[in-house]
């Protein structure tokens, strides 16, 4: 049987490789897309919560993963789509961090999540995270790639974390992968708690 | 045959990574001869600062490894409960430190944690799970408080927190890995000797020798 392509090592090599030389400038909007890809890392609580959600959903049955994952993606898209009507970001730091901490704790105790609850959590997170984005007042041709980049980054984080959780949660003879998943959950919860304290300090 | 969830996430991962790579390749980049310094203002520098904070304190290192050793010695479920409980309670301690809540004798508490945990391993004490979690959790507050109060002002606190949480977890893992040697007769003796050394180091910290 052919060994699967090692996705992440190959991707890492390609990212560090020299980019191709172009006779003409990069396609319009691609810079905005790449900027959008980086913006979730400015609002670090969103990265934390999305990673936690991905780790939680990846360890759930396929039905829960599918519906909750779609709920997050649709809710995020819906929230990003309201940018036209709101001009000030609604950065819900405490709810997002609290959700990240609770999800991390749930991963640590490794209990199954009811489908309805998973969908509700995922949709709520998607809405809260999406509402935090307000693009700078530019033309729509610049706003769309930036927003698409931010959406793409969060999707990538969710799927990467979900993939890691699915790998660790798969039935094996050794208990170490399952222990590793619980420990990852506790780390995320710990960082979220610490960030909540920092926010409380001001 | 892989379960559906693995197939779904594998395909989603590959598509997502491909999108990022294509976009990255299309973006023009400057050629950089130097990478710049890893200072505290960069995320990488902040993470490194947090990551190295436990590692530069031998009292932290000794106690963290001891938690992993004791967890391995106690076996499941302590094997995963102790490395899960510790960072969570450590975060609470860190929060107290950040908020300026005073905690008496923090450094003494850290040194005592090495003494107590090392002694528990050296004497092969099989405590009930809830007592083990209580002991580990109590000491975690002191360790976390020290990390929180020593948070550098310039650093991004979130990545700093991620750094010291990851470093702590990796030290636990080191202790767990070594502790698995307890499954063999000679290994069991070696682990108990290791516990005694950790307890001795803790006494040295308390008395100021180290």
Its pTM stands at 0.78
Query: Where are the alpha helices (H) located in A81-175, listed in sequence order?
Result: 93-109, 115-130, 140-169
Indicate yes or no: CB of A190 within 8 angstroms of CB of B91: yes
For residues A31-37, average pLDDT: 77
Tell me the pLDDT of chain B averaged across its residues: 79
Residues shown for chain B: 210
Q: How confident is the model at residue B165 (pLDDT cuts 50, 70, 90)?
A: confident
| Min distance A16 CA to chain B CA atoms (Å) | 10
- Which residues in A lie closer than 8 A to residue B13 (C-beta atoms)? 7, 159-160, 163
**Which residue of A lies nearest to B89 if distances are taken between CA atoms?**
A190
Pick from B64, B91, B168 the residue to mutate for testing the A interface (most A CBs within 10 Å). B91
Query: What is the dihedral angle through the alpha carbons of B73, B78, B84, B90, rounded to the nearest 10 degrees?
Result: -70
Could you tell me the pLDDT band of residue A1, with boundaries at 50, 70 and 90?
very low
Q: How far separated are the first and last CA of chain A, in Å rounded?
A: 56
Q: Which helix (H) or strand (E) holds B66?
A: helix B58-74
Question: Which of A19-23, B60-64, B122-126, B152-156 is predicted with the least confidence, judged by mean pLDDT?
Answer: A19-23
Query: What token pair was written down for A84?
Result: 């036209």
CB-CB under 8 Å, B12 with A190: no
ipTM of the prediction greater than 0.90, yes or no = no
Residues 118-147 of chain A with CB under 8 A from chain B are none
Which of the pair, A4 or A86, is modelled with greater confidence? A86
Which residue, among A114, A157, A160, has the nearest Cα to B9 in the 3D structure?
Answer: A160
Q: How far apart are CA B22 and CA A20, in angstroms?
A: 11
């Amino acid at each position: 049987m052919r060994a699967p392509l090692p996705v992440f090592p190959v991707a890492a090599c390609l990212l560090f490789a020299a980019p191709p030389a172009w006779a003409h400038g990069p396609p319009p909007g691609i810079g905005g897309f790449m900027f959008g890809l980086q913006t979730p890392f400015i609002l670090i609580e969103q990265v934390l919560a999305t990673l936690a959600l991905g780790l939680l959903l990846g360890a759930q049955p396929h039905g829960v993963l599918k519906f909750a994952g779609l709920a997050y993606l649709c809710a995020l898209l819906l929230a990003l789509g309201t940018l036209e009507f709101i001009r000030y970001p609604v950065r819900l730091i405490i709810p997002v961090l609290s959700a990240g901490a609770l999800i991390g704790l749930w991963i640590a105790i490794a209990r199954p999540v009811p489908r309805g609850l998973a969908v509700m959590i995922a949709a709520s997170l998607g809405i809260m995270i999406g509402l935090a984005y307000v693009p700078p007042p530019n033309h729509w041709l610049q706003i769309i790639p930036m927003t698409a980049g931010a959406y793409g980054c969060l999707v990538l984080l969710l799927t990467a974390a979900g993939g890691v959780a699915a790998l660790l949660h798969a039935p094996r003879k050794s208990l170490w992968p399952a222990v590793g998943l619980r420990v990852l959950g506790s780390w995320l919860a710990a960082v979220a708690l610490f960030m909540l304290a920092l926010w409380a300090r001001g | 045959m892989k379960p559906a969830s693995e197939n779904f996430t594998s395909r989603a991962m590959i598509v997502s990574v491909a999108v990022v790579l294509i976009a990255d390749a299309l973006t023009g980049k400057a050629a950089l001869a130097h990478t710049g310094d890893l200072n505290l203002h960069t995320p990488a520098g902040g993470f490194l600062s947090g990551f190295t904070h436990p590692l530069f304190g031998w009292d932290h290192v000794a106690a963290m490894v001891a938690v992993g050793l004791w967890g391995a010695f106690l076996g499941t479920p302590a094997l995963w409960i102790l490395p899960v409980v510790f960072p969570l309670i450590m975060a609470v301690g860190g929060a107290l430190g950040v908020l300026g809540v005073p905690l008496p004798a923090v450094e003494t508490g850290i040194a005592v944690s090495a003494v107590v945990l090392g002694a528990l391993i050296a004497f092969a004490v099989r405590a009930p799970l809830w007592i083990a979690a209580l002991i580990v959790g109590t000491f975690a507050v002191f360790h976390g408080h020290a990390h929180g109060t020593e948070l550098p002002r310039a650093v991004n606190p979130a990545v700093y927190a991620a750094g010291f949480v990851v470093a702590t977890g990796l030290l636990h893992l080191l202790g767990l890995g070594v502790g698995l040697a307890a499954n063999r007769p000679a290994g069991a003796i070696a682990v108990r000797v290791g516990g005694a050394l950790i307890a001795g180091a803790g006494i040295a910290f308390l008395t100021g020798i180290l």
